[in-house]
Structure 1
Amino acid sequence: MERCGTVTAAARSLHLTPSAVSQQVRQLGKELGVTLLEPQGRRVRLSAAARSLLAHADAIEERWRRAEAELHDVGADGPSGTLRLAGFPTAVCTLLSPAAVRLRTEAPRLTVRLREADPLESFDLIFAGEADVAVVEATRDAPPLTDTRFDQRALLDDPFDLVVSTDHELGAEPEASLPDLAAETWILGMPGSPCREHVLTACSRAGFTPEVTHQAQDWSLVGALVGDGHGIALVPRSVRLPGQEGIVRVRLAEAPPARRFLTLTARGAREHPAVRAALTVLDDLAGANAATE
């Protein structure tokens, strides 16, 4: 309920009825001799005792994962078992899929499974124990770094480049200055998307509000619209635009906006041999990507 917000949402995530969840929580409170749910208008909320209990539960869960990691520590043969990786499409293409290829050689006894998931869904998967490692983008809607259920650490910063059509006057230039783009027509992501917020913030700092002519979420579609001359766009450097003829990437003269990638695990799970192997490979890949920029 702390994570889901309401008893109904918590019940849905557990595949139970709201009444069953409420009954179990009240029964637990009865056994402990404390009140765990208290009324708040027409709903209920967690009491101070319930929040204290959750903090202890998170600490116990972390200690258990650390103990499990020690018990599964391995020698020269490397880790074994199944490792579940999750991430949004760009993270899968540029980091998680290459990581799985390397682990196939470096940890042959390990079976790696990949799953596409947007950042907020990745938190749910980690919390539910349905993924072991995720690569997420830092967003305002995500749980804070101080959330004791998760271990979030910076992996890499992904700067944005200007993308224009080949016949655009900037297509032959080595770089472009963002303030000089105020009169252009723009292609932006959908409202509420993190990348759209990055672009709007960068344009605001450059002293203008972009004229948005088209909106698209899929990067291949953004590339196609730019190539057809519908406008310009800022696209993260890690995004591949395969098969998009008629477009050119141009670096920005000033410090570009950037999105931050984070590795995400459950608190206490990083020392598990399989998880540790994956994080080591991801760090290497992130370093290699940064070195080529």
Structure 2
Amino acid sequence: MIDLRRLRVLRAVAHYGTITAAAEAMHFTTSAASQQIRQLARELDVTLLEPHGRRVRLTPAAHRLLAHADAIEARWEQAEIDLRTASDEPAGTVRLCGIPTAVAMLLAPAARPLRARYPRLDVRIREVEQEVGYNLLFDGEVDLAVVEATWSNPPPGDPRFDQRPLADDPFDLVVPADHALAGRDAVELVEAEREDWILPSVTCTCRRVTLAACGAAGFTPNVAHNALEWNAIAHLVANGLGVALAPRLAYLPTHLPIVRLPLTGRASPSRKLLTCTRAGGREHPAVAAVLTELSERAVTVAA
């Protein structure tokens, strides 16, 4: 009989990439995690890890075993839902996380009506960076994550996660209220090619979206300023220091003298937001209630 605890260590190594990172996530020492893998390999009489330069990598046998391990985890998820749900009414604690704009514009506004509608439901929200959401789901620390679709996400067919579209979030051109373009209903991005530009930090996916969109429009933006938060970007624009692209879900202070202009034409960027659960997790009544509320709210907020 396979020890499921050791199987979870192997899954963590595959997810985090190294034994050290897996051990840290599971609150083991590296030595203890390595010992678990070795014992699992002896139990099955197969090699699970092999040297790869200064590191190790999973063997083909380990990958075959992981396919079964992911299916087992999904069945355990479903078993817990079946055993802990006394009725179909959402109840208990539901743990949510999301990227900053999702927390501000979707998760937080959704929590209040959910708590009013389901008095036995306790909604907990956590703001995270993009990659952290998947780790928290994998570790069982949250039940639902709202993330952005990016190239670095797990692929759509990853058996560990259930990822589905939530909303398209178009980008607007943000200009000072006294800008020559401010009175327009919509603009093409190329019309801002000679402007000074304000970009988010290098860790923000919106920076890559801005650079790619400008490139698709046929120009390289003159980056005059960089900022970490949308609040700072909005103040830089308001003071006439440049223009910026901002997703529609990004909150910009309404008292500032700035204008958001919808973009037209081929170089009109948009990002996709996803809801993500562990495989089988969407069937939990509390998670299903959150998903319904989020879907309704996303239609109006991103319009």
TM range (shorter): over 0.9
Residue 68 of structure 1: which of 76, 80, 100 is its match? 80
Task: Tell me if structure 2 keeps the 8 A contact 1:99–1:282.
Answer: yes
- Alignment-mate amino acid for residue 180 of structure 1: E
1:96 alignment counterpart: 107
Q: Report the number of matched residues.
A: 290
CA–CA distance in structure 1, aligned partners of residues 247 and 196 of structure 2 = 19
- Give the equivalent residue in structure 1 for 2:63: 51
Structure 2 residue aligned with 1:232: 243
Unaligned runs of 5+ in 1: none
TM superposition shift of 1:204:
1.0
Give the C-alpha shift of residue 279 in structure 1.
Answer: 0.9
Check the 8 A contact 1:224/1:244 in 2, yes or no: no
Once the two structures are TM-superposed, the CA of residue 193 in structure 1 deviates from its matched residue by: 2.4
Q: Which moved more, 1:240-249 or 1:155-164?
A: 240-249
1:202-241 → structure 2 map (5 Å cutoff): 202-241=213-252
Counterparts of 2:116 and 2:189, CA distance in 1: 44
Q: What does the per-residue CA deviation read over 1:35-63, in whole Å, with 9 as the maximum and x for residues that have no partner?
A: 11222233222111111111111001111
Compute the TM-score of the two structures, normalised by the length of structure 2: 0.91
Matched, 1:28 2:40: yes
Which shows bigger deviation, 35-44 or 151-160? 35-44
Task: For residues 87-135 of structure 1, give each alpha carbon's deviation from its aligned partner in whole angstroms, at most 9, with x where no partner exists.
Answer: 1111011110111111112211111111111121011110000000110
Distance in 1 between the 2:213 and 2:53 partners? 42
Q: Which amino acid aligns with 1:219?
A: W
CA distance 1:253–1:47, shift in 2 (3 Å): closer
Long gaps (5+) in structure 2 = 1-12
The whole-number CA distance in structure 1 between the counterparts of 2:190 and 2:177 is 21
Give percent identity, aligned residues only: 52
Structure 1 residue 213, shift from structure 2 partner: 0.4
Corresponding residue for residue 259 of structure 1: 271
Out of 151, 154, 158, the residue aligned to residue 147 of structure 1 is 158
Map of 2:138 onto structure 1 = 127
1:160 equivalent among 171, 180, 190:
171
Length-normalised TM-score, structure 1: 0.94
- 1:147, distance to aligned residue in structure 2 (A): 1.3
Shift of 1:70: 3.1
Counterparts of 1:68-87 in structure 2, within 5 Å, are 68-73=80-85, 75=87, 78-87=89-98
